[in-house]
Amino acid sequence: MTDAPSHLFYQSRNPRPFLDRGEGIYLFDETGKRYIDGSSGAMVSNIGHSNPRVLTAMKAQMDKATFGYRLHFRTEPAEALAARTAAMMPDGLDRVFFVSGGSEAVESAVKLARQYALTQGEPQRWKVISRFPSYHGCTLGALALTGYAPLADPFAPMLQEMPRIPAPTTYLDRDNLTEEQRGLKYAETLRDRILTEGPETVLAFIMEPVGGASTGALVAPDSYYGRIREICDTFGILLIYDEVMTGAGRTGRFLAAEHWGITPDIVALSKGFGAGYAPLGATVAGSRIVEPILDAGGFLHGFTYAGNPLACAAGLAVLDELETRGLIANAAAMGALLQARLTVLMERYPFIGDVRGKGLLLAFELVSDRETMAPLPKGLNAHSELVEIAYARGLILYSRRTRGGIEGDHFLVCPPLIVTSAQIDEIMEILTDSLDAFAA
C-alpha cells in the first residue's frame, strides 16, 4: 500500500506510514508499530483515540440523520451542544455559532465583531490588532491576523494588513523588571498601538491566551491578562480569545481564560472541542453582541457544514467524557507532573533553554546558549531532526520554528488529557533516549 503513487497532497509530499488504528493515547501504523500520540495530533485528540462513548453516540446519530441543513431544520444535537457549551463558558458567553474548524471560528469571531460595530453605529471600526508571533489560521482572513512570517509573507499582497503588537516573549527579556512589571509593559504596547491607530478605528484585539503553534506554549505574566482586558474596555474594543488550541480543557480549565478570571467578548473554539471525532468548532459570544445583529437582519456569514448533527453528537459526547471522567482536572495534574519532568531535563541537556506552558499545553525550546537564549543555527534544522528521531522511536512530537517562524526551535509535548502518570514515564523514557541521540 505504501508504495502506491499518491494523488493526494498537503503542505508537501507525505512520506509518513499509513495509519491503521488508534487506541487511547496510542496510534498504530500498518506494520503494527505503536506510536505515543505525544502531541494529540495537532493538539486535537484530547480524549484519545477510539473513545467508545463518542463512537457509540456518533453511530446512534448516524442511524437517524447525518445532515440536516441548518436553514431547513433545527437539530437536537446542535441545540444540546450549544446549551452545554454555553453552560461551560464564563457568565455572559451564552450564544454559540458552529463552524467546522479553527480558522473558520476565528473568521467568524472577527466578522461578528464587525457586524456588532455596525449595529452600534460605528462603521469606522474595522482594525483587528493581533500579536507577533501568533497563529490564528491559514484562510486569507485568519492569515491577515496570523503573526507567523513564513506562512503569511507569500500572500501579503492579498491580505488586508492589520496592526500587530509583540507577544510577551518574556523568557527572552534580559531586563531588571519583575514578571509583573514585564506583563504590564507588554500590555501597554496594546494601548500605545490603539492610540497610534486611532482608537475609533480599532474593532478588536485577538490573542491566544497561551501561545500554540507559533510560540510554543508561551504564557504571559499574570498581570498581562487583566490589563489587556482593562485597555480593551477603556477604548470600547472587543477582546477576542482564540482558544482553538487552549480551549476544551487543554490547559487544565475548560477555557484558558479562566486561569486569570477573564471574560472575553468572543471566544473561538475548535481542535479539542471535536477532539478529532468530527470537524467541529464554535464561535461563542454574548447575547449583548448577537441580539443586535439578529435584530438588524442577521449575521451575514455561515458555512454549509455548520452544526451538522453528526459533528454535534460527537461534540456532546466529548464534553460528557471530559466531565464524567474529570479529564480537565487530570490535564491540570498530569500537566504539572509532565512540566516538572521536562524541567528536570534542563539539568541534563544544556541545549534546552526553556520549558513552559500550562496544563497539558507544554513545550521546550532548544537554544545554543541558555544565558543569551540564542537559537540553534537555522541550518541545523533541529526542529525536524529531533521530531524524526522521536518518531522513529515511537513518540510523536509537534515542532515549529518559533519566534515568529524566523528563528528558534520549540517542541510541543501535549498528550491527550487522558494520559496517566505511567504513560508520562513512557513519554519521558523515549524523549530522553531521543534527546541523547540528538545530542550525539
In the range 117-136, which residues lie near ligand PMP by CB under 6 A?
135-136
Q: Which residue has the cell 461563542?
A: 284
- Name which position in 58, 86, 106, 417 contacts ligand PMP (CB under 6 A): 106
In the range 256-285, which residues lie near ligand PMP by CB under 6 A?
270
Please report whether residue 41 would count as binding ligand PMP according to CB under 6 A. Answer: no
- Count of CB atoms situated within 10 Å of the CB of 368: 15
* Region of 131 on the Ramachandran plot (φ > 0 left; ψ -120 to 50 alpha; else beta): beta
Q: Nearest distance from residue 255's CB to ligand PMP, in Å?
A: 13
Please report whether residue 245 would count as binding ligand PMP according to CB under 6 A. Answer: yes
Shorter beta-carbon distance to ligand PMP: residue 245 or 430 = 245
**Using the 8-state DSSP alphabet, how is residue 230 labeled?**
H
Tell me how far apart the alpha carbons of residues 50 and 28 are, in angstroms, rounded to a whole number. Answer: 12
Interface region with ligand PMP, contact rule CB under 6 A, candidates 99-107, 112-120, 152-160, 393-401: 99-107
What is the separation of C-alpha 283 from the centre of its chain, rounded to a whole number of angstroms?
14
In the range 179-218, which residues lie near ligand PMP by CB under 6 A?
208, 212-213
- The residue at minimum Cβ distance from ligand PMP is 102
Q: Are 124 and 200 in contact (CB under 8 A)?
A: yes
Shorter beta-carbon distance to ligand PMP: residue 171 or 303 = 303
Q: Nearest distance from residue 139's CB to ligand PMP, in Å?
A: 7
Q: Nearest distance from residue 43's CB to ligand PMP, in Å?
A: 7
Would you list the DSSP string of 25-48?
TEEEETT--EEE-TTHHHHT-TT-
- Count of CB atoms situated within 10 Å of the CB of 399: 22
In the range 363-382, which residues lie near ligand PMP by CB under 6 A?
none
Q: Nearest distance from residue 219's CB to ligand PMP, in Å?
A: 14
Q: Nearest distance from residue 388's CB to ligand PMP, in Å?
A: 21
3-state helix, strand, coil in the chain (%, to 5): 45, 20, 40
- Count of helix runs (H) and strand runs (E) in the chain: 13, 15
Binding site for ligand PMP (CB under 6 A): 42, 101-103, 106, 135-137, 208, 212-213, 242, 244-245, 270
